[in-house]
Amino acid sequence: MAGLWFTTRRARLMLKCDNCNKPATVHLTEIRNGKKIEKHLCEQCAAQNEGLPVKSHTPINELLTNFVMAHSGLQKETTAGQACELCSMTWSEFRQGGLFGCANDYTVFEKDLTPLLQRAHEGATHHVGKVPTRRGGTGVPMKKTVDLSKLRKELQRAVEAEDYEKAAKVRDQIKIAEG
Amino acid sequence: MPMKLSDLTSHAGEWLRGSGPMSEVVISSRIRLARNVAGYPFLAKCSRGQRTTLEHKIRDTILGANISPQTLYVDLENAPDTDRQLLVERHLISKPHAAAEGARGVAIGENETISIMINEEDHLRIQVLRSGLQLEEAWDQINKLDDLLEAKLDYSFHPRFGYLTACPTNIGTGIRVSVMLHLPALKITGEIEKVFRAAKDMRLAVRGLYGEGTEATGDFYQISNQTTLGKSEEEFISDFKHLVIPKIIDYEHQARRILAKERTVGLDDKVYRALGVLRCARLISSEETLNLLSHLRLGVNLERIKEIELRTINELFLLTQPAHLQKLHGKKLDGDARKQARADYIRSRLNGQ
């Protein structure tokens, strides 16, 4: 119906390039004649059609965020072509269906998932909130998890506030807490 | 005494009783939590056997956990279509859950304020639905319920990502907070766009009567959060309760005041036309019914009509839906037979008072 938009969860995760069927990684918003035009392109189409050199303008705070995050042990290196050894899910299968096959996929694809999560969750990358009293097979004692999620939130806030001195301190605390 | 599905048919659930805070605008408050059981794949990668094992395991846990004095369990795989449709109309299961295949079910308790879907998109979708604006009460209730189940089930949980869900848009808290609003005055005055803008600014989704992908028939709009990570459950609820909803309720109240003061005749015309058609029609579709009941409800709220109770209208919204009508009649009704049954039922309820 007119005037009512429906954003499906899948759509937010699975944007495809406007020109071809590859996943869109470049998102442009243009104002033309007072109208907002959104474009979602893959890197190739962005380079060809818009003459956009991709990945050259990373804002300074994003660089610093990535740097702090990378050194806090929050991101693990993974290879994109990998399949989950438990459920055989691959990254491209996930991008097609929008659903994961098992809990292990979150670990296997953690690195690729992070930018998607940030888009879907307003920049958030870590859980804050309820923690089950029994550990659901993660092997992490509850108290420690609670402290960690608090610290991570603190880290996120410090980075957002561009207080990198504090961020570095919190990062060290996280390292200690993780043992 | 075990409950039966037929016990539900003839009346509306607690959430439609038409009371509760702000009930003139807020129909209901809903919170749902998505949970998965550790040690099993998510449903996309479950074998038939694993799916069945999960259904048994979770069902037994729920029934053993005393979640409610009376709990009704419906095995959806083997339930007739009308029963599944009935549960959708009562907001106790989702449309995809009704239409899916394989072992799945729903447990319903506490006068239909609780429903737990098994093997929907996640192993468990726990829901609490209450009338009016009762988000904190709903959170208390669902939090306790979640604790009861968690004492018996190992939930899939990740130190960084929180509760793990099949779709990454639900991870973290796994919470969806939504309120169903009735906004007829904003629709009539053409200001409904205000609501969409307010919602969009706060990254909230606006949906129709039956959730994702449905239209806003009868001027009902469901507003819900889209993000689940990075804030605590209480923060999500508090933002909703204090920032979003009061603003929209305020817009609707303003529009109602303008209609009642400055456009009285136009308002009465709409309200009495609605009442006239509903009291006299011999064949009526579900959509027309919803739209007319919406105007009638506005008229009752603004005291333009005094002889009809809000509760009657709320019940009619539900009991005139296809599956409910067929249950009331005890047989399958198609096309004009259904329209006739609907018109007959509405006349009996509105002329009987």
DSSP assignment string, B236-251:
HHHHIIIIIHHHHHHH
Average pLDDT over residues A135-144: 49
Give the number of other Cβ atoms within 10 Å of residue B318's Cβ: 17
Sign of dihedral through CA atoms B270, B271, B275, B278?
positive
Shortest CA distance from B45: residue in chain A? A101
Average pLDDT over residues A152-162: 85
Respond yes or no on whether ipTM tops 0.95: no
Q: At which residue do the structure tokens 């508090």 appear? A: B238
- At residue A84, what is the residue type? C
Q: Distance (Å, rounded) from C-alpha A105 to C-alpha A114? A: 13
pLDDT greater at residue A86 or residue A145:
A86
Lowest mean pLDDT among A22-31, A99-108, B78-87: A22-31
Distances (CA, A) of A136 to A33, B157, B163, B341: 54, 6, 10, 51
| pLDDT of amino acid A36 | 67
Percentage of the residues of chain A whose pLDDT score is greater than 90 = 15
Q: Which of residues 183-222 of B touch A (CB under 8 A)?
A: 192-193, 196, 200, 203, 205-208, 212-213, 215-216
Cβ contact B156–A117 (<8 Å): no
**Chain A partners within 8 Å of B164 (Cβ):** 103, 106
pLDDT over 50 (residue B353): no
| pLDDT of amino acid B348 | 94
Distances (CA, A) of B153 to B20, B60, B107: 33, 11, 16
pLDDT band at A59 (very low <50, low <70, confident <90, very high): low
| pLDDT of amino acid A1 | 31
B99 Cβ contact list (under 8 Å, min separation 6) = none
Q: By C-alpha distance, which of B264, B273, B303 is closest to B291?
A: B273
Q: Which tokens go with A93?
A: 């299968």
Give the angle A34-A5-B208 at the CA atoms, nearest 5°.
Answer: 155
| pLDDT of amino acid B225 | 92
Nearest to A136 among B38, B151, B192 (CB): B38
| pLDDT of amino acid B215 | 64
B219 Cβ contact list (under 8 Å, min separation 6) = B182, B183, B184, B187, B291, B294
Q: Which tokens go with B129?
A: 């639905």
Give the global pTM.
0.77
Beta strands in chain B (DSSP E): 26-35, 71-75, 105-109, 114-118, 124-131, 157-158, 162-163, 175-182, 204-207, 220-225
pLDDT greater at residue A82 or residue A52:
A82
pLDDT over 70 (residue A10): no
Query: Residue B132: enclosing H or E segment and its boundaries?
Result: none
Average model confidence (pLDDT) across chain B: 91
pLDDT band at B110 (very low <50, low <70, confident <90, very high): confident
Please classify residue A43 by burial: count the beta carbons closer than 10 Å to its beta carbon, then call 0-12 exposed, 13-18 middle and 19+ buried: middle
CA-based R_g, chain A, Å: 19
A143 Cβ contact list (under 8 Å, min separation 6) = none
Q: Distance (Å, rounded) from C-alpha B252 to C-alpha B258? A: 10
Q: Which of residues 77-106 of A touch B (CB under 8 A)?
A: 86-89, 97-103, 106
Beta strand B220-225 with B204-207: parallel, antiparallel or unpaired?
antiparallel
**Chain A partners within 8 Å of B42 (Cβ):** 87, 99-103
Beta strands in chain A (DSSP E): 26-32, 35-41
The minimum CA-CA distance between A48 and chain B, rounded to whole Å, is 31
The minimum CA-CA distance between B47 and chain A, rounded to whole Å, is 11
pLDDT over 80 (residue B170): yes
